[in-house]
Amino acid sequence: MVSTNTRFWILILLVTISGFSQGMLLPLLSIILEQNGISSSVNGLHATGIYLGVLIASPFMEKPLQKFGYKPIIMVGGLLVIISMALFPFWQALWFWFVLRVAIGIGDQMLHFGTQTWITTTTPKEIRGRRVAYYGMFFGLGFAIGPLMTRLLSIHEAAPFIVSAVLSLVVWSAMLVVRNEVPEESMNITAQTGNTFKRFSQTAKIAWVALLPAFGYGFLEATLHSTFPIYGMRIGHEVGIISLIIPCFAAGSLITQLPLGILSDKIGRRSTLLYVLSGGLFCFILAAILEDSVPALFLTFTVAGMLVGSLYSMGISYMTDLLPNVLLPAGNLMISIIFSIGSISGPFLGGVFVELLPDVSFFYLIVAILLFVTAAIYFKKEESTSERG
């Protein structure tokens, strides 16, 4: 069996390929459905399938983790993603693809809950920001590469799905050499903190402010990957250009994810979050003004990624600082749930926005969401969210 450090990097590799699959699937299906004449609102609603799967699975994750440990949860989740991805080329029907998206959402939630909880509960506080930054950085790397697979559509419509399924299978097989572990406090969680929904209530009361960055990131990520391809084509940009612009956001986050994680270890999560959110707001206002310019979109997507592309990982670190260890599994679940709510509302509201307000830049919708998250964190008194180990 492998060492603890090797296990960490195998988990990070799994997160990378998960990001790759998600980053590919959102724009790929949006483009295929748009080219088939599906309306933007239906297209956006269809894109929520992955995140609906996350929501369906989330309340049922804690007990299996406590009973069976991390490895079985991750293995089953990864296998579900692989099988679902391989089934896409067999039948092009809206309802069938939606079911597969939900299945991928369930599998991804199992995989991310297992890896995220394993990493956060076994990492010392002094390097927590750095370790979680690696988590976010490599997910972002996968997410940045994923949209490039839309170019394989010119070869065959099934090609992107097959490539993703094969790569996922190769990485998933690395988990076979990892030794399973069970959460240390698994036998005492229920006795100490009650049932799942009571733990959710306790977690929300203590760390609600740390959940908001995940909501903002989910909204942002899903909207850029599912609504921007539709909006971009409607304002005259080519599919090939759009497939290159979208990864700039995730690529930007790769540059600063680790430095921002280290910075947040030094000056605090709240201060770092306020700085990056303010910069992100400015970038998307600029994108709205200059949206007809391809170079401007490349630049604003990249700089925005450098700033707000780390929201999810910083939210995890912030939450981990605020919560006692016994509530961390519930906290990780709530991060996923809030992220999913943002991800579900993003494509749907984005699609409706593009349809009802065709003359207004959809980037202003992103600006409104980021402004809400920034204001909530800013007006939350710092002393009541003091970070503790």
- Return the pLDDT at 278: 94
Q: Phi and psi at residue 8, in whole multiples of 5°?
A: -55, -45
Alpha-carbon span 198 to 52, nearest angstrom:
22
Alpha-carbon span 246 to 318, nearest angstrom:
27
Each residue of 46-90: pLDDT tens digit?
A: 877 887 888 888 778 878 888 888 899 999 999 999 999 999 888
User: 169 and 46 in contact (C-beta within 8 Å)?
Assistant: no
Each residue of 157-176: pLDDT tens digit?
A: 888 889 889 999 999 999 99
User: 144 and 23 in contact (C-beta within 8 Å)?
Assistant: yes
Alpha-carbon span 86 to 172, nearest angstrom:
14
- Return the pLDDT at 289: 92
Look at residue 236 and tell me whether its pLDDT is greater than 70: yes
Angle at 286 between CA 284 and CA 289, to 5 degrees: 115
Each residue of 15-40: pLDDT tens digit?
A: 999 888 888 887 888 888 878 888 77
Contacts (Cβ under 8 Å, ≥6 apart) of 301: 224, 245, 246, 248, 249, 252, 287
Alpha-carbon span 374 to 63, nearest angstrom:
34
Share of the chain above pLDDT 70, in %: 94
| pTM higher than 0.95 | no
Considering only the top CATH level, what class is 4-385? mainly alpha
SS (H, E, C) 246-308: HHHHHHHHHHHHHHHHHHHHHHCHHHHHHHHHHHHHHHHHHHHHCCCCHHHHHHHHHHHHHHH
Question: Mapping DSSP to helix (H, G, I), strand (E, B) and coil, where does residue 227 land?
Answer: coil
Highest mean predicted confidence (pLDDT) among 179-188, 253-262, 294-303, 307-316: 294-303
Average per-residue pLDDT for the chain: 84
Alpha-carbon span 298 to 324, nearest angstrom:
41
Alpha-carbon span 51 to 188, nearest angstrom:
30
Cα–chain center distance at 184: 27
User: 215 and 343 in contact (C-beta within 8 Å)?
Assistant: no
- Return the pLDDT at 173: 92
User: 331 and 319 in contact (C-beta within 8 Å)?
Assistant: yes
Domain ranges in the chain are 4-385
**Average pLDDT of 209-237?**
87
Alpha-carbon span 168 to 162, nearest angstrom:
10
Each residue of 339-377: pLDDT tens digit?
A: 888 888 887 788 888 888 888 888 999 999 999 999 998
